[in-house]
Amino acid sequence: MYTASQIKNVFQDYLLKEKFSAAPASLYDPANYILSLPAKRARPLLSLLAYQLFRDELDEALPAALAIEVFHNFTLVHDDIMDEAPTRRGQTTVHKKYDLNHAILSGDVMLLYAYQYLMQTSYQDKTALFQHFNQAAIEICEGQQMDMDFEKMLDVQIEDYIEMIRKKTAVLLGVSLRIGAMLGGATPEVAEKLYQFGTHFGISFQIQDDILDTYADPDKFGKQVGGDIIQGKKTYLFLKTRELLVGEERADFESAYYGDTSDKVDRVKQYFRDVNAKEYAVQVRDAYHDLAFSYLNSLNLDDLRLEPLLDYTKGFIKREM
């Protein structure tokens, strides 16, 4: 059995070995570029950790883990176009380094290779494997579209926001775990519980992300604290505060949030405080977190088997702020 960081090394070596070498280079260079950027590799790691709950030799599970990481990077390339993002992982995004056309087409071919890698698994019931992967992939597109739609909508409900982050981010964590478990020989029921663990964990993680963006220790946080507020992003904190305010107060809060006064962050944080937005967010985050781990615990797995996955997921959500 391996720890998460050992598994990451195994995966990184495999990723390097499987670098695209086909022609034309103009198509595959951007794909190799985005895959070469330093990254956490959270999704393939979760997949391999789930596999390791049931079986030891990782080799069998590597092509599927690669499929998941290549798929994830396809979404990053296309999302960065849509979000007009200049940087990703501290480096130039694909559409800025190359151009729009290269980013579109390289993204497309990465998506096709994700299926190619998934086919390389020796799993018997390929249809089941593809169904789960494909369902997740479709939901991820739907989540990205919802996210873009929400930017233009004035009245976004919290339940719709949760559904958006579930689709856009959480289902890929869920299906990574599910596929790892399936390849490891888990029953459909057990694989389903790991999927539920992953999706609930993912939602919890996203809400934590919203909280940290406003309340993180600036010395420990990689980005600018308050960035979401400055950009007027529809986060959990914003949506909850908006929901709890009425009439003129809501209107004032919205105009502060979408405005750009110099004291914007402080003013918005005062509104958050007035309605206890952070406490609500922490509560919902913890509810999803606990629900996630209740799915995991219900599997009654051997503690020793479970340790690498537990260690990794506990490190993933740092509660201290």
CA dihedral 154, 160, 161, 162 (to 10 degrees): 170
Region of 118 (left: φ > 0; alpha: ψ -120 to 50; beta: rest) is: alpha
Confirm or reject binding of residue 276 to a second copy (CB under 8 A): no
Choose between 106 and 199: whose C-beta lies nearer to a second copy.
Answer: 106
Q: Which stretch binds a second copy (CB under 8 A): 16-24, 173-181, 249-257, 303-311?
A: 16-24
Which positions ≥6 away from 131 have C-beta within 8 Å?
none
Confirm or reject binding of residue 78 to a second copy (CB under 8 A): yes
**What Rg do the C-alpha atoms of the chain give, in angstroms?**
20
Q: Which stretch binds a second copy (CB under 8 A): 61-69, 130-138, 183-191, 266-274?
A: 130-138
Confirm or reject binding of residue 105 to a second copy (CB under 8 A): yes
Residues 31-70 that bind a second copy (CB under 8 A): none
- In the complex, the smallest distance separating the C-beta of residue 72 from a second copy, rounded to whole angstroms, is 13
Confirm or reject binding of residue 127 to a second copy (CB under 8 A): yes
Confirm or reject binding of residue 82 to a second copy (CB under 8 A): yes
In 56-129 the beta strands, taken as DSSP E runs, fall at: 87-88, 91-92
| Secondary structure class of 297 (helix, strand, coil) | helix
Number of DSSP helices (H) and strands (E) in the chain, helices first? 16, 2
Please compute, for residue 113, the number of CA atoms within 13 A of its CA located in the half-sphere on the CB side. 26
Given candidates 10, 14, 97, 130, which one binds a second copy under the rule CB under 8 A?
A: 130
Kindly list the residues in this chain that would bind a second copy in the complex (CB under 8 A).
22-24, 26-27, 78, 81-82, 100-101, 104-105, 107-109, 111-113, 115-116, 119, 126-127, 130-131, 134, 137-138, 141-142, 144-146, 148-149
